[in-house]
Structure 1
Amino acid sequence: MTTLNISQPDVTLLLDMSGVIREVTLSDAISEKGVEAWLGRPWDETVTEIGGDKVRRMVEDALRTGVSAFRQVTQRFPSGRELPIEYTTVLLGGRPGLLAIGKNLQAVAELQSRLIAAQQTMERDYWKLRDVETRYRLLFHTSTEAVLLLRASNLRIIEANPAAVQALGAVGPRPDSIAGRDFLTDVLPEERDLLQAMLARVREQGKAPGIVMHFGQTRKASLVRASLMASDPGPIFLVQLSPVGSPLPMPTQADRLSVEDLIERMPDGFVVINQEGVIRRTNQAFLDLVEVGAKGLVVGERLGRWLWRPGADLTVLLANVHRQRFVRLFSTTIHGELGASTEVEISAAGTGEAGNPHIGVILRDVARRLPPAEDANRLISALGPLTEQIGKTSLRKLVRDTIGVVERHYVRAALDLAGGNRTAAAELLGLSRQSLYAKLNRYDLGDETPPPGGARG
C-alpha cells in the first residue's frame, strides 16, 4: 500500500471513475461556502484553464497506477476566490472511485512572490551600485586633483588617479603603475614622521589639519589632506594632494645663497602672515620658539595661537600694521607647544598692496638680553644719594623718591631703545601714549633730543 506524505488536507474531493465530483470536504483553514455547487461537475471545470490538463492527467495516472504524482493547480471556488492547491489522486480499493487530496500552497506562493520581489530589488540595487561605481571611476580618473587610496595598515597604494601618478613623479601615466607600492617611498625622509603623525591623528579623531609636503624630482609642494573610510578587509585612507605655490628647486653646491636661504638662517623668528593672521611661511627659528618640529604643522595656523593673549595681541598687531604699515618693538610672550614661555619683541611690516595683503613678522627672543654695564651703573649711581637719606627721611618718602628715580631711568632707556619714537617707547613700557607723556613732563624728559636716525612718535 502506498503511503502519502500528506497531513491535514485542506481540500478532499471524492470523484467517480470519470472524474466527476461526488463529495467535497474542506478544512477549517479554508472557510468557503457554496462548494456544494461542485457536486455533479467534472473536477477539471472547477480549476483555471491552465490546470485542466493537470487534473485530467492526475485522473488518468490514478486509474492506471493507483496513485498520481503531486501537481499544483489553481482551484477556483464558487465565491470567485482562487487558491494554489497541490493535489495527488488515489484510486479507492474498496469501492469504485477516486480520492483527490489537496494542500493549500498560498503561504508558499506568497513566500515565493516575496523572494522574487527581493531578487528583483537586489538586481536593481546592484545595477544602481554599478552605475554609481562607474560614475565614481569616471570622476576619480578625470579629476585634476591628485587622489590616492592607501591601505591604513601598511600605507601601500591601493589606487591612484593619473593626477596623483604625475604629482608623485612616477614612471608611466597608467594609474595602476604604482598600485601596491609603499607610499612612504614617495615621501622625503625628513617628512615621513610628519605624515605618519597626521595619519595617526586622522585614525584617532577622524580628521586632522592638512600639511605641506614635497613630492617628485622637482620637490613640488602639495597640501596633503586625508580622511579615513571603512572598507573590507580593513580601513583605508583617502589622500588628496593639492598643489601649493611653485616647485622648490633642488639645491646645488654651486647655488648662491638666496633670500629664502638667508631668512631660513636668521637667528630671529620670521613668518609671513595674511590679513587674518594666518601663517603662510616660516623659518626654523620660529619653529624653535613655538617648539614645533615641522613647518607643515605651523603653516595654515593663526599666529595668535602662540601669543601671550591669543587673539588680543594678534588683533593689536594687525591693527597697528594696517594703520601705520609697520610696527616696531611690540612686546609679547610666545607660549610653545611643550610649555615654554619666551619673551619676544615683534617688528612687522605690510606690503600695503590690495592684491598681495601679506605681512612680514620678525620675532626676537629678548629673554636673555642683559642690560649694558654702564646702564646698570647709571641706575646705581642715581640711587646712591637716596641711600644717604636713610635716617634723615621717612621710609614713605624714600620709597616714593626711589620709584621716581627708577621710572625716570627706564622711561629714558625705552626712549633710547625706540630711537626717540614715543609710540614705540610706550609699547615697550606697556603704557598708553598719554601716560608716557605725563611721565615725560614729570621727569623733564619731554625736550630731550632723540639720537641720530630716531623719530618722535
Structure 2
Amino acid sequence: MSEPAQFPPDITLAVDGEGVIRTAVSAEALADEQLDQWRGMLWTDTVPPEAAAQVARAVESARREGESSCFTLNQRLPSGRELLLEYTTVKLGDRAGFVAIGKNVQDVSDLKARLASVQRDREHDYWKLREIETRYRALLDASSEAVALVRVDTLRVVEANAAASKSLGLFPGAVFLPDLADGDRKALHGLLATARMNGRAPSIVLHLLDSGKLSLRASMLTSEAGTFYLFQMAPLDEEGVASHAADTRSASFSLETFVWRLPEGFAILDRDGVVRFANLTFLDMVQAGVESAVIGKNAGNWFNRPGTGLRMILNLVAQHGVVRSLRTTLESDLGLRSEVEISAVGDRIDRPRFFGLIVRDAMSRPKGREGEFVSLAPGPAGFATSLETAVRSSVEAVERQRLVDALAQCAGNRTAAARSLGISRQSLYTKLKKYGLDQH
C-alpha cells in the first residue's frame, strides 16, 4: 500500500459498506463544486462508466476483506468536469464502512513535467559549460606563454598549461614558485597585494634559484569556486628578453624540435615520477590525444609491472646513474598493453632531481638469424623462455593479419576498420605503427 498523502486531500469521502457516499468534503480549491449532491449516491455513479468497475472492486475488497487500497481514476465532479485523482481507502470498522481520500495527481504530473524540463535545461547548460571549458583549455594549451591559475589562500596551482609545466615545473597541486630568492619573495608579495587591490598588477622580474630570470604579471579571477590569481609568465635570457623571443633570433636549430620528433618515446619526470615533458611518440604510446593529458600525471600509471615498475626504474637510476634497455610493460590510457624497453638517466649523478626516459617498442628490436630477439643488455628480458617468445609471436602474427584483413575489407578506411575491430581509432593507429602498417 502506498504511503498516505503528505498534503491535504482534495476530496474526502465517507462510504458505507454498500458503496454509498454518506459525506463528501472538498478542499478549498474545489469549493465551487457542490459535493453535497453526492450524499446518498453510489460512489460508482459519480465516476465515468469505464472507472465504475475499479470503484466497485475497491468497495467490495474493503467490505469483505477489510483491506485498504490505492488506485487512480477520473472523478466526475457535480459541475461535469473530470479530475484525475489518486484515492487511498482506509477501513473504519466492520460496519462503519471506509474513508476514501482523493488527491489531485494532475498537479503532481505538472510538477514532474516542470522538474523534467528544469533537469533538461540544467543538462543543456552543463554541456555548454563543458564545451566552453574544452575551448578554454585548448586556447590555454595553445598559448606559447606560460599561464597558471593559483588559489589565493594557499598559493597552490589549480591549473597550468603545457608551457608552464615544461618551462617552470608547475602542475596542479604544486606550490607556486617555491624556489624564489629571498629578496624576490617580497617583490612577489607586493605584486599580489597590488593585484588584490586593483584587480591586476604590471609585470615584474623575479630571479629563480635554478631557472634564471622570470617575467611575471598577475590579475584576479573571482568565481563560485573561490578567488584565484591568473599568472602570465615568460622566462628571460641573460639580456632580459623573453626566451620565446630569443629563440627566434637563433636561426640555427631547436633542440626541442628534434626531441619532439624522435621516433622513440621520450619523457622527463621529476623525483616523484610526475611527467614534466613528453614527446609526440610517448603520447602515441600511452594513447593520449594532447600533451596536456600527460603533463602533471604520474608515469607510474603506465609503467606498473611488479619488479620493473616506475619506482624500481627511478631507484636504479638513483643508485647506478643509468638504466639501459630494461624490459617492462607499458599500459596505455585505453588499456592497451605492450612490451617496451626503457633506458633512463638522471640530470645529475648524486640525488637526481629529474629523470630522462627513452621508451622503445620492444618489438622493434633487432632480430637474430632465427627470428629471436637479440639481448642488448642483461635484465628481465634475459629470462624470457622460447615458449613465451613463440606464443607472443603467434599472437602478434594473428593480430597483424586481422589488421590487414580489416583494412582490406574497408578499402583502406581506417575509421571503418577500427569500428569493425571494436577498437578506437587511436588504438588502431598505434597497432598499425607497431606492425609497420601505418604507411600502407
Q: TM-score range by the shorter chain?
A: 0.3 to 0.5
TM-score by length of 1: 0.40
TM-score by length of 2: 0.41
Larger radius of gyration between Structure 1 and Structure 2: 1
